[in-house]
Structure 1
Amino acid sequence: MLAAQRRSEIMAQLERDGIVRVSHLVTTLGVSDMTIRRDLLTLHEQGALEKVHGGAVVRAEPSSSEPGFEAKSVRQLAQKEAIAARAVQMVRPGSAIAVSAGTTTFALARHLVAIPGLTVVTNSVWVADLLHDARVPSHTVLLTGGLRTPSDALVGPIAIAALRSLHVDVVFMGVHGMDLNGGYSTPNLHEAETNRTMIASGRRLVVLADSTKWGVVGLSSMATLSSASALITDTGLSHIARQRLSEHVADTVLVDPGNVHLSDRDTEEPGL
């Protein structure tokens, strides 16, 4: 096997499991310990992974890194659509729900137009615009107001004051990262505070997070893993992560993105 092929296989295993071990790679790739260590060093120097004792882990983005909405909207499209399609099954006609900002919750909003009689509280400019443009007569949409973040979330004192006076049945929340120690997190301090208030306004929290969010830790935590009564993620989640989550979340739902058919609307850039 050529070096490029080995390194490609190493990255594939790392993306699947979140960690690779030298001993395991020696066995599966049929090369020496030193060859694997050289491969890991090369990939580390290229910025592809983070070397640790005995192997390597996924290289984490800086905890304060905050990609914009448009940048995130083209990632994991099938996973987000599958998660959204499952999440909408938890929405009862006539209920009051809160929907946080994010690209996965935006995918959910597309499905909400088919549920009659909803009151939707949101701090997402994109979600509010979509529901407004859909013009469903039985919907009531409440946009919190507030300061606008790079991810187009409305946050800060105005948003918090609005949320504190409201009570909803279910909060649907997208997250930047989920981790055993960090819980559900975001890189934006103001968004974290606003989302904590949104969580407190609901009887039930449902987190929507594709499998790439596992092991990612943002600057500020919004809630512990066990705060969610349900987590909807995809089958790309490693077996180790599934086991860890099952110990903390009452209902972990895995959806298969392979069964999703994306329409032109799903693959075009937001706002076009």
Structure 2
Amino acid sequence: MMAEYRRTTAADRRALILEKLREGTGSVHVEDLSRAFGVSVATARRDLDRLVRDSLVTRTYGGAVLGNVRAEQTLREREVSNAAAKDSIARRAAALVEPGSTVLLDAGTTTGQLSRYLSRIPGLTVLTNGLNALNVLVESDEDVHVIALGGSLRRTNQALMGPAAEAVVRSVYADIAFLGTDCLDVERGISSRTLEQNSLKQLMSAHARRTIVVADSSKLNTTWSTYWTALPSPCDVVTDDGAGEEALSPFRAAENVDLTVCELAATQENEPLAG
């Protein structure tokens, strides 16, 4: 890919990306695509995300590989992927929480970022199965009561799960359940790598007055996962505008979904990431 490819449509770029993957090493990097096509890194990511939704490539740390078999990334790798989007989503989601609320917080990277904002809200009770969230919340100066759900540790995503975690969730009825997901689809719902994780998400939603799914735009309309839980009716979805209106439209049209879309450009110009 050289300078002759700099005047291309989005569809042309995606076709050329596939050509490069098939004829080259089988992998591409976002920064290389940005330079080759003369587009922003964000535009190159959107091109890859569209190819993911079409089940043609698999996203990797900083790029993509040919095919739709997903190798699971570590929590640390996922934390730096789409970090600005996750922070924007977390900031918006935290604004929906009143002081003194009881919150069920799922494990994950977007929910982990959300914990940084929840730690600033006084009087919360937060029950979570995410080790990253626990490490943030225990440092709160806002009288946040933190409850670890317990159970078996899944090391890759640092999530606690199993009968012990489910027993704690069954003993409460929270104001809000914040759920993360590997994939998000209007018809299928939210997904996880394991049946145990999906079971816990479903239980969290059932034991909360309000369910809010937090997912960056790379998750929208992807269906590669095996284990699914239907979206509750009603539920909130907080995402970003990185995938464009075509990806957002099914969620806007869904009667059971209240969609909130964070505008990344405006957020990145005005606000630093929570740390």
- TM-score over 0.5 for the pair: yes
Residue 43 (structure 1) aligned to one of 10, 21, 28: 21
Residue 144 (structure 1) aligned to one of 140, 149, 152: 149
Residue 161 (structure 1) aligned to one of 159, 167, 190: 167
Change (3 A) 1:145 1:256: same
- The residue that corresponds to 2:137 in the other structure is 131
Change (3 A) 1:202 1:37: closer
Structure 2, unmatched stretches of 5+, are 29-47, 60-67
- The residue that corresponds to 2:92 in the other structure is 86
1:25-56, CA deviations, whole angstroms, 9 ceiling, x for partnerless residues? 4xxx8xxxxxx978744434535679x9xxx7
SS of 1:134's partner is: coil
Equivalent position amino acid for 2:89 in 1 = I
- The residue that corresponds to 2:176 in the other structure is 170
Structure 1, unmatched stretches of 5+, are 14-19, 30-35, 267-272
- The residue that corresponds to 1:185 in the other structure is 191
Change (3 A) 1:188 1:83: same
Contact 1:63 1:219 in 2 (8 A): no
- The residue that corresponds to 2:257 in the other structure is 250
Matched, 1:120 2:126: yes
Number of matched pairs: 237
Q: Which of structures 1 and 2 has the larger relative contact order (alpha carbons within 8 angstroms, sep 6+)?
A: 1
C-alpha distance in structure 1 between counterparts of 2:82 and 2:236, whole Å: 20
Aligned-pair CA distance for 1:60: 3.9
Contact 1:64 1:187 in 2 (8 A): no
Contact 1:97 1:168 in 2 (8 A): yes
1:54-92, CA deviations, whole angstroms, 9 ceiling, x for partnerless residues? xx7641465664322111111111111111111111001
1:1-272 matched pairs, under 5 angstroms = 3-5=1-3, 13=10, 20=11, 25=12, 40-45=18-23, 46-47=26-27, 58-60=56-58, 65-137=71-143, 139-149=144-154, 150-217=156-223, 218-224=225-231, 227=233, 229-248=235-254, 249-258=256-265, 259-260=267-268, 261-263=271-273, 266=275
1:170-207, CA deviations, whole angstroms, 9 ceiling, x for partnerless residues? 11111111124432111222211111111111111101
C-alpha distance in structure 2 between counterparts of 1:60 and 1:227, whole Å: 31
Give the alignment's TM-score, normalised by structure 1. Answer: 0.76
Change (3 A) 1:106 1:7: farther
SS of 1:109's partner is: helix
C-alpha distance in structure 2 between counterparts of 1:38 and 1:175, whole Å: 30
Aligned-pair CA distance for 1:219: 2.1
Contact 2:120 2:141 in 1 (8 A): no
C-alpha distance in structure 2 between counterparts of 1:66 and 1:176, whole Å: 10
Equivalent position amino acid for 2:147 in 1 = L
Equivalent position amino acid for 2:262 in 1 = V
SS of 1:71's partner is: helix
Give the alignment's TM-score, normalised by structure 2. Answer: 0.76
| Structure exhibiting the larger radius of gyration computed from Cα positions | 1
Contact 1:66 1:151 in 2 (8 A): no
Change (3 A) 1:65 1:203: farther
SS of 1:162's partner is: helix
Equivalent position amino acid for 1:71 in 2 = E
SS of 1:114's partner is: coil
C-alpha distance in structure 1 between counterparts of 2:6 and 2:161, whole Å: 41
Change (3 A) 1:228 1:213: farther
C-alpha distance in structure 2 between counterparts of 1:171 and 1:120, whole Å: 10
Aligned-pair CA distance for 1:241: 1.4
Change (3 A) 1:129 1:38: closer
Change (3 A) 1:47 1:64: closer
C-alpha distance in structure 1 between counterparts of 2:245 and 2:93, whole Å: 22
Contact 1:122 1:143 in 2 (8 A): yes
Change (3 A) 1:111 1:79: same
Equivalent position amino acid for 2:57 in 1 = R
Contact 1:100 1:123 in 2 (8 A): yes
